[in-house]
Amino acid sequence: MASGRVHAQNRHGHVVYLTEEEQCRLTDIIIVAVTLLGTGLFLGGLFAEGFVLRKPPKPWEKRRW
């Protein structure tokens, strides 16, 4: 193709053709999004109540009132 749009992107039946630069940019955005999601889930689990690495409280440390 003369315009360089050679990468077909099919979104629910709507086909769009992208250039190499646009395809690379979309791939980079997806990688950043997945990385941020994974980091958020990891940090959320790390600082959440009852995380696996935290030791459970001793019986005398539990508040009952």
Q: What is the pLDDT of residues 21-62, one digit of tens each?
A: 999 999 999 999 999 999 998 988 887 765 566 677 788 887
Report d(CA 53, CA 15) in Å as an integer: 48
Using 50, 70 and 90 to split pLDDT, how confident is the model at 14? Answer: very high
What letter would DSSP give residue 8? E
d(Cα 23, Cα 28) in Å, to the nearest integer?
9
Prediction pTM value: 0.65
Return the residue matching tokens 């003369």: 2
**Side chain identity, residue 59:** P
Q: Which two tokens stand for residue 11?
A: 């979104």
The domain locations on the chain are 21-49
Cα 58 to Cα 45: distance, rounded to the nearest angstrom: 22
d(CA 52, CA 56): 9
